[in-house]
Chains A and B, each alone.
Chain A
Amino acid sequence: RLMCNAETVPSFTGQGFGWPSSFNATWIFGCCRSMKSLRLLSVAPSDRGSQRCRLGPGLMSALGLSLGSPLLVSVPGGSCLCTAWPRPDLAEGFLQMDLKCSSPSLMISHPPTHLSLDPDQLTPVPCSKLKGVKITVVVQSVDFKKHTPPRIVHELVKDMLKGVHVHKNHVINLEDFDTEVKYVVIESINPESASTGFITSKTGVEIAGIQTVRHYRSRLQDQNTVSLGGLDEVSASLREMLQLPLLYPGTLSSLGVSCPRGVLLVGPPGVGKTLLVRRVVREVGASLVVVRGPEVVGSRPGESEETLRAVFERARSAAEEGPCVLFLDELDSLCPRRTGSSAPENRLVAQLLTLMDGMDQSDRFLIVGATNQPDRLDPALRRPGRFDREVIIGAPTLQQRKDILSVLCTRMPVCPSVDMAELAQKTTGYVGADLSALCREAAMHAIRENSKQAICMKHFQEALKLVGPSCLRSSLGRTELSSVSWEQIGGLDEVKLKLRQSIEWPMMYPEAFVRLGLSRPRGVLLYGPPGCAKTTLVRAAATSSHCAFLSVSGADLYSPYVGDSEKALAQLFRQARACAPCILFLDEIDSLIGSRSNGQTSNSVHTRLLSVLLNEMDGVGLKTLERRGTEKILQAEGVEENHTEEQEVCNNDVMVVAATNRPDCLDSALLRPGRLDHIIYVPPPDEQARLAILRVCTKSMPVGADVCLEELATKTKLYSGADLENLCKEAALLALQEENMEASVIKQTCFLESLKKMSPSLTAQQIHSFYTIPLR
């Protein structure tokens, strides 16, 4: 196709036009290079609105293009119709085009500059004069749409379109005219046989409709939606709720039913409420007016109310173009519970109530509110006629997390070895936002390592360390969980096994438990003398079962204010449930909760905490807000039966593990089956165990060859694990002391020396008492 060969070049130069020699060189060079690729540059300002496409003259003649010939340029994401024009500097190898007429997708996101194009992507197209076009006009403001007579718009648009080459289904950009008319969408052209054509003053222009830019853009963005994982059921119910009144208002009114006005979305932060609304609104094809609560609140008196009224007015005018949803994000900040005094918020709440009541059936818009603190909302809002329905979105379940992860990972180069199910299992308590942060972090790790590598499991592992579940942030019992493996605990094999059975297995293999009809234990009580690794054991269990781990002791919960401790404990359980499966570790439970039988007055803090604990363990304190999983909206039918089952499962995922060294002080009500049903005695280490503990403790120490751990083990009767660890430390310090910081090994004598100075923390009597306690 290209005429760039040895014969043609001299024949051109031979015509005697006196070409500047530099031009010739450029042309030949550029022509040859243009075979390979063209660089796409951004359009020159002077060409804006001209519909020109600047190419090198060589390429123009190669493509058989004359001055002003129509040319279709395909770029990734769409195409653009332009008229060919030589570059002013006549250079080859570059392409600049004005996006006067381009695919809608290019209208939203301009093609990237410095893109390389192949000459194949330029196709000359025939453009005959058109008899007529059918268009949709996109204007800036609703005002213009409302007040301008159609004839004026017609005249205006016709004048603007004169001399433009158009392509079917393309958008004509008229922004350069700087009037209210911004775009024109070519719906169809006459004659229909062609897909492109040229508009003259004789071309008939038919306006199919007028839209505002806002509306048009929101409709366009439908086409590239972000998929939403794990919220299918909620989004289906929300969609149904929106679709009915918005798209079929006639049906509802013929049934004599008033449309619902508002839907309240309730769920913890980051769960995807906002995204869900945006997505569903797009699917339904409605336009969306978003207001975040704090945006509305102004400092001047009356300002907030005014803004709120303006927002409703905006929604109303948007609703005139089609269905519309007014989305009030962070509703709790906008509409807090009214207090007795005449706070400014009260007026705002009253204004919102008035506006919602003022909406009548002719206002075809729906209000969706979202909050993560429904309790803080004014109760007057939560009644039919205002927010008719409430949709509760909980933290995602295992399956939902898997869905979310696979949605998030579709666009990332993820190594096939990454097991989504495993990842989902490890991300308990993570909400959608956390998971997306996790994926981003993993990708960052991969980039840091090697930019071309796919993301592997180890990157996710790294990311898991950095990104924690947001529902646990600033939680009371949140502890840095330095992972402890079972091997790091010496001895106690029997206890370890029991713990595995009661903690790890039900968490990791719940389906096996269901298969064998085994009910899962609710709670585990570890008791035994102090310093015998009860806490460490629980940590190891949590580490191996990949559960969230919350740990509290008495001091965390105590507060000088009446009722605060109880509230904190209930809150702790709520958080534990939010990120279930979770291990809730109550250390020193005896200090936390006393017994009702040992003569304390009935209204002491201990007793009240005990009753809270009992309630929570029985699942009484469960709030509707925390529901999750398959259940639908409360009002929906046929939900009751699976509802109870849901709740059961929910609470089961929280495992309460308590530890005490004074089991005799515990209230017997706590110890009955169904509460702390597994009671495990963690005995003081016997000789064998002591040896194992010493081995673990001295693992990182340079121990002298003469050291006989067996001997030490026999000599340390009544020593607890903590004592033994201390012994090793003392011995090491002694070695340093004796040899003036130059010790390289710890000798047996050091161990024996320090053993002499120490005394065991356990007593035989104490140990005996544990055997004699009649538990249950």
Chain B
Amino acid sequence: MSKPALSSLHQALRKSFKTLENNQTVWKSVLAECSPLMVSLGNLAEQSRALSNVQISNTPLRDFPDLEDRLRFKLLQATDTVLGKLNEKMSSLQSVRDAISNQVSAVVQLFEQNTDSLDVLAVTERSATTPSIADMLEWLQDAERHYRQQYLLFGFVLGWVCVMLGVYCFSSTGVFRFLRRKTLLQTLRPDNISLLESAPKRWKSLESPSAEDCITDTLCKVSFFMESQ
């Protein structure tokens, strides 16, 4: 095994963890911006459900004949706006994910180029300040998987809502970048409303602070390593 291979690998790992650290902050802030939007989405769903449950002609509002259609339209419009904003957030998240993915795959590639000079013993060697290469690669891959998974889930929660509502159709670039708008459907089916209602709950469970704990842990474990040199 060769020293230079090891040190260049360490350098690349250091860079990756730096990227991870920076992007974690971005990710967290974007998520924080998403929360109120998700809350509004839930509120709008609740309003839609209430409107469906009420027979306007049996209420004092019966004097306003086209009220129901108008209100429904307004609600859909508001939903549309919120979804549009969420879509923008999703693209920020995507760029975070891509940045991490690219960095990790670059490190893995570098490692693979040097496999011949790094045997199993060398990659499992660890000291008090420097975790082994195997450990660090593992953490990086786990982090990458974590963000890929989270992004996919957020996208899924949102994307499926959109699909079910028939609000958007999807572009072929990027999974949940819904760029082209379809015409708004004038009616929300009840099962769609319940879907809308459930979306914020799922979101809430996803963006719980503990989800990011693993990343924070990893960054703690490599803090000495990052400071060294």
> Could you list which residues of chain A lie within 8 angstroms of chain B, going by C-beta atoms?
12, 17-19, 46, 49-50, 52, 57, 60-61, 65-68, 85-86, 88, 90, 143-144, 147-149, 151-152, 155-156, 159-160, 162, 176-180
B65 to chain A, nearest CB (A): 33
Chain B residues with CB below 8 A from A178, complex form: 149, 153
Which 3 pairs of residues, A with B, have the shortest CB-CB distance?
Answer: A61-B120, A179-B156, A155-B175
B16 to chain A, nearest CB (A): 15
> B125 interface residue, CB < 8 Å from A?
yes
> B185 interface residue, CB < 8 Å from A?
no
Q: Which of B111, B148, B152, B160 contacts A67 (CB 8 A)?
A: B111
> B37 interface residue, CB < 8 Å from A?
no
Give chain B interface residues in 163-212, CB to chain A under 8 Å.
163-164, 169-170, 172, 175, 191
Q: Who on chain A is nearest to B119 by CB? A: A61
Chain B residues with CB below 8 A from A151, complex form: 170, 172
**Interchain CB contact under 8 A, A149 and B169:** yes
Say whether, besides A67-B111, A178-B153, A46 and B142 are in contact (CB < 8 Å): yes
Complex-state Cα separation, A3 to B153, whole angstroms: 45
> B223 interface residue, CB < 8 Å from A?
no
Q: Mark B121-154, 1 if CB is under 8 A from A, else 0.
A: 1011101000001110110011001001100110
Chain A residues with CB below 8 A from B77, complex form: none
Q: Who on chain B is nearest to A64 by CB? A: B120
Extra inter-chain contacts (13) besides given A68-B137, A86-B120, CB under 8 Å: A49-B149, A57-B121, A61-B119, A61-B120, A61-B121, A66-B118, A66-B119, A85-B134, A85-B138, A88-B135, A149-B169, A152-B170, A178-B153
Say whether, besides A50-B142, A151-B172, A67 and B153 are in contact (CB < 8 Å): no
**Interchain CB contact under 8 A, B156 and A12:** no
> B25 interface residue, CB < 8 Å from A?
no
Q: Who on chain B is nearest to A160 by CB? A: B152
B side interface size, CB within 8 A: 34
Say whether, besides A12-B121, A67-B111, A152-B159, A179 and B172 are in contact (CB < 8 Å): no
Complex-state Cα separation, A202 to B156, whole angstroms: 22
**Interchain CB contact under 8 A, A66 and B120:** yes
Q: Who on chain A is nearest to B159 by CB? A: A152
B10 to chain A, nearest CB (A): 15
Interface centre among A19, A155, A162 (most CB of B within 10 A): A155
**Interchain CB contact under 8 A, B111 and A155:** no
> B108 interface residue, CB < 8 Å from A?
yes
Complex-state Cα separation, A160 to B176, whole angstroms: 13
Complex-state Cα separation, A143 to B160, whole angstroms: 11
**Interchain CB contact under 8 A, A67 and B123:** yes
> B115 interface residue, CB < 8 Å from A?
yes
B59 to chain A, nearest CB (A): 26
Complex-state Cα separation, A437 to B191, whole angstroms: 47
Complex-state Cα separation, A41 to B86, whole angstroms: 43
Main secondary structure of the interface of B (DSSP, over half): helix
Q: Who on chain A is nearest to B166 by CB? A: A147
Q: Who on chain B is nearest to A63 by CB? A: B120
Complex-state Cα separation, A529 to B144, whole angstroms: 97
Chain A residues with CB below 8 A from B159, complex form: 152
Chain B residues with CB below 8 A from A61, complex form: 119-121
**Interchain CB contact under 8 A, B152 and A179:** yes
Q: Who on chain A is nearest to B174 by CB? A: A155
**Interchain CB contact under 8 A, A147 and B164:** yes
Q: Which of A49, A66, A180 contacts B156 (CB 8 A)?
A: A180
Ordered by A's residue number, 11 sampled pairs between the chains whose C-beta atoms are within 8 Å are: A46-B214, A49-B149, A57-B121, A66-B115, A85-B134, A85-B138, A147-B164, A151-B170, A152-B170, A177-B149, A179-B152
Interface centre among A17, A52, A179 (most CB of B within 10 A): A179
B89 to chain A, nearest CB (A): 18
Q: Which of B133, B163, B175 contacts A148 (CB 8 A)?
A: B163
Chain B residues with CB below 8 A from A160, complex form: 152
Complex-state Cα separation, A257 to B99, whole angstroms: 63
**Interchain CB contact under 8 A, B120 and A57:** yes
A2 to chain B, nearest CB (A): 13
Q: Who on chain A is nearest to B177 by CB? A: A155
Chain B residues with CB below 8 A from A144, complex form: 160
Interface centre among A50, A52, A66 (most CB of B within 10 A): A66
**Interchain CB contact under 8 A, A86 and B124:** yes
Q: Who on chain B is nearest to A83 by CB? A: B141
Say whether, besides A151-B172, A179-B153, A17 and B163 are in contact (CB < 8 Å): no
Complex-state Cα separation, A144 to B191, whole angstroms: 12
B174 to chain A, nearest CB (A): 8
Chain B residues with CB below 8 A from A90, complex form: 124
Complex-state Cα separation, A86 to B134, whole angstroms: 7
B23 to chain A, nearest CB (A): 18
**Interchain CB contact under 8 A, A67 and B134:** yes
A31 to chain B, nearest CB (A): 11
Q: Who on chain B is nearest to A62 by CB? A: B120
B123 to chain A, nearest CB (A): 5
**Interchain CB contact under 8 A, A147 and B124:** no
Chain B residues with CB below 8 A from A85, complex form: 134, 138
Complex-state Cα separation, A658 to B88, whole angstroms: 93
Complex-state Cα separation, A748 to B5, whole angstroms: 113
**Interchain CB contact under 8 A, B142 and A57:** no
Say whether, besides A50-B141, A57-B120, A159 and B160 are in contact (CB < 8 Å): no
**Interchain CB contact under 8 A, B125 and A17:** yes
Chain A residues with CB below 8 A from B156, complex form: 156, 177, 179-180
**Interchain CB contact under 8 A, B120 and A65:** yes
Chain A residues with CB below 8 A from B169, complex form: 149
A160 to chain B, nearest CB (A): 7
Say whether, besides A86-B134, A156-B175, A60 and B120 are in contact (CB < 8 Å): yes
